[in-house]
Chains A and B, each alone.
Chain A
Amino acid sequence: MLRRDLYVTWRELPAFLAQVILQPLFMLFVFGKVLGSLGLTKHHYAELLFPGLVALTAVLTAMQTLAFPLVAEFGWTKEIEDRLLAPMPISFVAAEKVLFALLRALVATLIMLPVGIVVLGSIPWRWSGVPLFVAGLVLGALVGAGFGLLMGTLVQPQRINLLFSLVFTPLLFTGCSQYPWPSLARLRWFQVVTAANPMTYVSESLRGALVPTVPHIRPWICLLVLVFAVCVLMAVGVRGFYRRAID
């Protein structure tokens, strides 16, 4: 099954790349480059923005890879039926979807590194931060996949537009990708809101890995919260998947 998904992705590579690169590319360009050049942001803003956008890409790519095809497959193309009738546990079909989303998210974030160098001139990078960077990335992608699984099995196909406005946008802007969380102390209520979004801990852990001089939530707290979030989202998501798969 994974081979089928990789096969289809490979044949639609340009579309895949456009889908995963375009949004962070523009964000990097506008927030990192344009605003900086105009003197509207301080010089180091691009440095703290970059890890946040990597986090955003990991979470959103994984989420989109899962949610949209799943809504369509359960809703109208019914393509998933042939997989559900394969001689393997239903949970394997869900696991394959998650694994595939993880792979796509990791590829998308790896592409962000050279893109960042091209757009910004240089990116913050510490070799000693790589283990934390990878851990945050993988957990972030799994969080995204968990959200995707949840939405893909809960959302009715007619409501797919609502998914965008009611779920994607808030997740996108409350995930601390554009600002470090401790700096929100001046905006207390918003700090509380963002603390409820698991993506915040992805952004903060990547910042801890790449730009530790910027104040950030302690990495072990981030990783702990993320592991917990992954467990909860997966448990609920897989249950939703079963409900859709079997009457």
Chain B
Amino acid sequence: MAGDLLPEGSAGLAVEVRDLVKRYPKSPVNAVDGVSFGVAAGEVFGLLGPNGAGKTTTVGMLTTRVRPTAGTASIGGVDVVRDPVQARRQLAVVPQRSNLDRSISIRDNLVFHAAYHGVPAREREQRADELLEQFGLLDRARDKPDFFSGGQSQRVMIARALTHAPRVLFLDEPTTGLDPAARLFVWDRLRELRESEVTIILTTHDMDEAALLADRVGIMDHGKLLALDTPQALMRSLEGEGTLELAADRPADGAVVDALAALGGVDRVERIQAAAENGAPPPLPESQPLRVRLYLTGDAALLVAPAAAVLAEHGLALQDVKLGTPTLEDVFIHLTGRTLR
């Protein structure tokens, strides 16, 4: 089984996870429910899923901060439960929220981090300055983290994580809450890191981020890994060449959906359901204005007119049309029947 979960031709595994389970005390369900995967050295691996899918808990177990209920995980061949100290030597974590030391300058943040990891004194200073320069922070080296924006803090934390030259770098939602410019800057730095030897595991609920940065993507929901492959292969797994998304003005029953599915060139039709709002049960699809996605075997543009005609026959007016090739979001919808957000 694990063989399928590895990238082709991978020599050494930087991270290996087998049947990992985490159930928090007083919780009726497993936060992570039997997850297995392997990540090759130098690979960028993305865990994609909505909030609460179990991504952060999975990363927490890999980084020795969460104790697994069952299963095993290793970093660079070191078991994270049996030898957390050795495991921590190999990894670095960039958390979602800033945890920089606010009492000292950002340069000292880097230098002390290196010291905690046993980097020799002379090397620390040099490494800190190099990384600050690489991340465009040299002119602010003496400032304390309090005065930093979210994007800048993120850059400092990535730089800090790299000071002890980890083999595996974990990034938890690296660009959530950043403005577009800051996000692009972080993406650029991460793409540079792909050239280096460091293995990267990032969690995200942003499909663009996953498609852009990751060599392979694991899609998680309700603590389970639903699919795992390259972004291209995942998108190709949706049969057909294109999609056509239609929105009508009113709710409609299944007859319309069946009629659309019967059109030539339509492979499948899926109703799109709005995501649940903060814990409330998701609204029933029949009670909302009709939204469907058609998965096609042919050209999407040719189907717009016939589809509009079908809607009209059922007394519906077409409100919005989107043509597209499948995205990771479509893969997620296909796997779970829900949107990511």
| Contact indicator B104/A7 (Cβ below 8 Å) | yes
Q: Could you tell me the distance between the alpha carbons of A7 and B116 in the complex, rounded to whole angstroms?
A: 15
Cβ-based interface call for B154 (8 A): no
Chain B nearest CB, measured from A82 CB (Å): 6
A88 and B24 in contact, given A8-B104, A246-B66, A247-B60 (Cβ under 8 angstroms): no
For chain B, the count of residues having a C-beta within 8 Å of the partner chain is 31
| Contact indicator B99/A82 (Cβ below 8 Å) | yes
| Contact indicator B88/A246 (Cβ below 8 Å) | no
| Contact indicator A246/B65 (Cβ below 8 Å) | yes
Give the residue of A79, A245, A246 whose beta carbon is less than 8 angstroms from that of B101: A79
Residue of A nearest to B87 (CB): A87
Give the residue of B67, B86, B97 whose beta carbon is less than 8 angstroms from that of A87: B86
A77 and B65 in contact, given A8-B104, A89-B85 (Cβ under 8 angstroms): no
Cβ-based interface call for B50 (8 A): no
Q: Could you tell me the distance between the alpha carbons of A83 and B95 in the complex, rounded to whole angstroms?
A: 14
Cβ-based interface call for B113 (8 A): yes
Chain A nearest CB, measured from B49 CB (Å): 19
Interface string of A71-96 (1 = CB under 8 A from B): 00000011101111111110000000
Cβ-based interface call for B294 (8 A): no
Give the residue of B67, B97, B160 whose beta carbon is less than 8 angstroms from that of A78: B97
Question: Which residues of chain B are near A12, meaning CB under 8 Å?
Answer: 103
Residue of A nearest to B67 (CB): A246
| Contact indicator B89/A87 (Cβ below 8 Å) | yes
Interface string of B147-187 (1 = CB under 8 A from A): 00000000000001000000000000000000000000000
B contact residues vs A (CB 8 Å cutoff)? 24, 60, 63-67, 85-86, 88-89, 91-93, 95, 97-104, 108, 112-113, 115-118, 160
Would you list 26 pairs from A and B whose C-beta atoms are within 8 A, ordered by A residue?
A1-B116, A4-B104, A4-B112, A7-B108, A8-B103, A8-B104, A12-B103, A77-B99, A78-B97, A79-B99, A79-B101, A81-B93, A81-B95, A82-B113, A82-B116, A84-B65, A85-B88, A87-B117, A88-B85, A88-B116, A245-B65, A246-B66, A246-B67, A247-B24, A247-B60, A247-B66
